[in-house]
């Protein structure tokens, strides 16, 4: 599977599928998602030969002498995880920046697994008391002015423990919420055949990137100048797992104690009618918001 991750000469290159992160503007089918400092955009010009869509349903089974097959009660259905992988060479048509394209793709994929925080985190040491397994207590007292830690130990088990607490007013958001725009039936957001209204069948859903694996390969390329273009890869294998989660939001920290909000879910009826074309569900609920890469104070320097 090839990948086009960078802008072409006439603006963003749009492939048949794409993965992009959401910012405060949320999801919109009516406008083109253009990569900015606040978003991450990866376009796929073609698809893999196979796409695996697997889910499991868990049941609680109560055995009984009178019920040899047990009494089955539904417990939960595991979220859909979609593994995708691709290979790319530094001199493929899609590598518009040559070997640096491989590094940029790797950086964007890894960025989707990390929280959105300030580049510099203010921390302070706090006193803590930890009970050892044998019942003894270890207390740690921080001395800020000297930059040292005094530890006093009670009981027979020695040792000291440091507790690091984020500074007050520290901005923090979960890893970015993403949209996987993988496939769509005729009509886009229009009608399904045989239905009065509703989105078309397809896979266009909100979730997050669960895992990333990048394997950079040689021969390693250099320009001859040690200060630039040194030891760049000539090829790369990339893989990631996208988890479908229509209720996922990385701005939940804005909620105050006691606040009520609605979690969007895909029901059996919605699944039957539109499959995983469900990104509009969360967008219709005003209580679900998103944070982009620049929405946390001080994070603006972490541009992609």
Q: How confident is the model at residue 175, as a pLDDT?
A: 94
Among residues 173, 168, 170, 167, the alpha carbon closest in space to that of 38 is found at 173
Asked if residue 229 and residue 86 are part of one domain, the reply reads yes
CB under 8 Å to 288, separation ≥6 — which residues? 247, 249, 261, 262, 263, 264, 282
Asked if residue 178 and residue 272 are part of one domain, the reply reads yes
Q: Tokens 């001080």 map to which residue? A: 298
Asked if residue 233 and residue 147 are part of one domain, the reply reads no
pTM listed for this prediction? 0.76
Asked if residue 214 and residue 160 are part of one domain, the reply reads no
Asked if residue 155 and residue 273 are part of one domain, the reply reads no
Asked if residue 194 and residue 59 are part of one domain, the reply reads yes
Asked if residue 274 and residue 217 are part of one domain, the reply reads yes
Per the domain annotation, does 1 fall within a domain? Answer: no
What is the rounded distance in angstroms from the CA atom of residue 289 to the CA atom of residue 177? 10
The pLDDT tens digits along the chain (304 residues) read 333 334 443 444 455 688 999 988 888 766 667 778 889 988 876 678 889 999 999 999 998 999 989 999 999 999 999 999 888 888 888 888 889 989 999 999 999 999 988 766 666 666 555 554 555 544 444 444 434 444 443 444 444 445 556 666 667 889 999 999 998 887 544 444 444 456 788 999 999 999 999 999 999 988 766 667 888 999 999 999 999 999 898 887 656 677 777 788 999 988 998 899 988 887 777 677 888 988 875 443 333 3
Q: How confident is the model at residue 153, as a pLDDT?
A: 39
Asked if residue 150 and residue 16 are part of one domain, the reply reads no
Per the domain annotation, does 2 fall within a domain? Answer: no
Asked if residue 238 and residue 260 are part of one domain, the reply reads yes
Provide the domain count of the chain. Answer: 2
Per the domain annotation, does 110 fall within a domain? Answer: yes
Q: Are 251 and 173 in contact (CB under 8 A)?
A: yes
Q: State whether residue 89 is helix, strand or coil.
A: strand
Domain residue limits at 13: 7-118+172-301
Q: How confident is the model at residue 82, as a pLDDT?
A: 95
Q: How confident is the model at residue 151, as a pLDDT?
A: 41
């Amino acid at each position: 599977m090839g990948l086009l991750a960078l802008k072409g000469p006439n603006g963003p290159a749009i492939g048949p599928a794409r993965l992009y992160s959401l910012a405060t503007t949320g999801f919109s089918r009516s406008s083109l998602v253009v990569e900015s400092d606040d978003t991450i955009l990866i376009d796929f010009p073609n698809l893999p030969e196979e796409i695996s869509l697997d889910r499991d349903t868990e049941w609680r089974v109560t055995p009984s002498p009178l019920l040899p097959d047990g009494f089955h009660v539904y417990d939960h259905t595991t979220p859909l995880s979609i593994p995708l992988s691709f290979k790319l060479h530094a001199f493929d048509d899609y590598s518009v920046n040559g070997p640096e394209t491989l590094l940029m793709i790797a950086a964007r994929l890894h960025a989707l697994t990390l929280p959105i925080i300030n580049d510099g985190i203010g921390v302070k040491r706090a006193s803590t008391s930890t009970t050892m397994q044998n019942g003894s207590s270890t207390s740690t007292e921080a001395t800020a002015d000297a930059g040292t830690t005094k530890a006093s130990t009670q009981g027979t088990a020695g040792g000291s423990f440091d507790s690091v607490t984020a500074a007050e007013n520290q901005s923090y958001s979960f890893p970015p919420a993403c949209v996987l725009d993988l496939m769509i039936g005729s009509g886009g957001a229009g009608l399904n055949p045989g239905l009065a209204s509703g989105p078309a069948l397809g896979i266009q859903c909100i979730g997050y990137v669960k895992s990333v694996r990048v394997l950079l390969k040689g021969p390693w390329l250099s320009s001859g100048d040690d200060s630039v273009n040194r030891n760049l890869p000539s090829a790369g294998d990339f893989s990631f797992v996208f988890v479908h989660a229509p209720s996922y939001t990385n701005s939940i920290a804005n909620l105050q104690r006691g606040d009520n909000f609605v979690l969007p879910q895909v029901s059996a009826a919605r699944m039957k009618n539109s499959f995983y074309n469900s990104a509009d569900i969360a967008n219709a609920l005003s209580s679900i918001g998103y944070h982009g890469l620049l929405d946390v104070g001080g994070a603006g320097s972490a541009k992609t």
